[in-house]
């Protein structure tokens, strides 16, 4: 199998005959066996299914993962009430704010969060003074974001027409789409001339801890490596201002990137 981010060849890393113990069953059993291939050159991983399921992100994902709107809000509050040193999001916001200041955004500006989900991140950015808009493909997540006081639309990024953002964020989103390069590219027209793009994706380095790691569970089409992220950003002719790999307080292996033109 050819790697999608470099000239390397990918080999079969993990095979799943069914969901692993404790995994939320996003895919019907007809989608199995589900396989993960890893590139021998850049360590990027990609999911391959026996058969493609229907679109998970038009409602199936939120319903299967969280349930009702009330359960979505309950999960949101659970995350927001974590001590800052135990919160992935609290440390994300601190880090991103520092990175933005280093690139000249010293005051809160306009932020578009793509694929807002539980909306923990955009809500905290709003509380810091940012003018925040969110979009999602799941009506439950849009309804939840609006209930939090966020501007939110049920729309694809490619069809979104409000522009002049200082910052566009793809926080744990790119792993869920087949063509992440195309999704990032579709955001360029919405940026201010010196606008920034923030990316956060799962790190394939976690494969060393086994196939049941969260990074490799169903719904993740791509599991990135630092090398594949660098290749992706360079293919878009963007400049990488900051990149880091880390293990978050939740235990997730993550890659964070700030880039622009």
* 43 close to 225: Cβ distance less than 8 angstroms: yes
- The reported pLDDT for the residue numbered 63 is 73
| Structural domains for the chain | 57-260 (3.40.50.150)
Name the pTM for this structure: 0.96
Residue with tokens 């790999």: 245
Of 157, 165, 159, the C-alpha closest to 112 is 165
- The reported pLDDT for the residue numbered 58 is 64
Of 112, 115, 124, 167, the C-alpha closest to 149 is 124
Of 89, 59, 69, 57, the C-alpha closest to 219 is 57
Pairing of strands 239-247, 131-136: unpaired
* Strand order through the sheet with 10-16: 10-16, 34-39, 45-48, 222-223
Q: pLDDT of the chain along its 261 residues, tens only?
A: 999 999 999 999 999 999 998 888 888 889 999 999 999 999 999 999 998 876 666 666 777 788 889 999 999 999 999 999 999 999 999 999 999 999 999 999 999 999 999 999 999 999 999 999 999 999 999 999 999 999 999 999 999 999 999 999 999 999 999 999 999 999 999 999 999 999 999 999 999 999 999 999 998 999 999 999 999 999 999 999 999 999 999 999 999 999 999
């Amino acid at each position: 199998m050819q790697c999608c981010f470099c000239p390397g060849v990918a080999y079969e890393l993990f095979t799943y005959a069914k969901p692993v113990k404790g995994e939320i069953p996003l895919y019907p059993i007809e989608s199995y066996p589900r396989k993960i291939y890893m590139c021998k050159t850049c360590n990027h991983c990609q999911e391959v299914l026996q058969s493609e399921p229907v679109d998970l992100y038009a409602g199936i994902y939120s319903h299967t993962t969280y349930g009702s709107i009330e359960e979505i809000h309950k999960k949101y509050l659970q995350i927001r009430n974590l001590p800052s040193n135990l919160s992935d999001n609290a440390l994300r916001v601190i880090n991103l704010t520092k990175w933005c200041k280093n690139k000249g955004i010293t005051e809160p500006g306009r932020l578009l969060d793509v694929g807002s989900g539980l909306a923990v991140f955009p809500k905290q950015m709003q509380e810091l003074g940012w003018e925040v808009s969110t979009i999602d493909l799941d009506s439950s997540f849009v309804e939840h974001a609006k209930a939090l006081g966020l501007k939110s639309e049920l729309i694809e990024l490619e069809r979104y027409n409000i522009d002049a953002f200082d910052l566009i964020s793809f926080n744990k989103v790119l792993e869920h789409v087949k063509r992440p390069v195309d999704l990032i590219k579709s955001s360029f027209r919405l940026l201010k001339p010196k606008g920034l793009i923030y990316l956060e994706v799962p790190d394939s380095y976690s494969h060393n801890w086994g196939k049941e790691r969260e990074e490799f569970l169903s719904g993740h089409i791509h599991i990135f490596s630092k090398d594949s992220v660098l290749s992706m950003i360079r293919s878009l002719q963007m400049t990488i201002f900051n990149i880091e790999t880390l293990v978050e307080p939740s235990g997730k292996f993550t890659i964070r990137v700030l880039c622009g033109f």
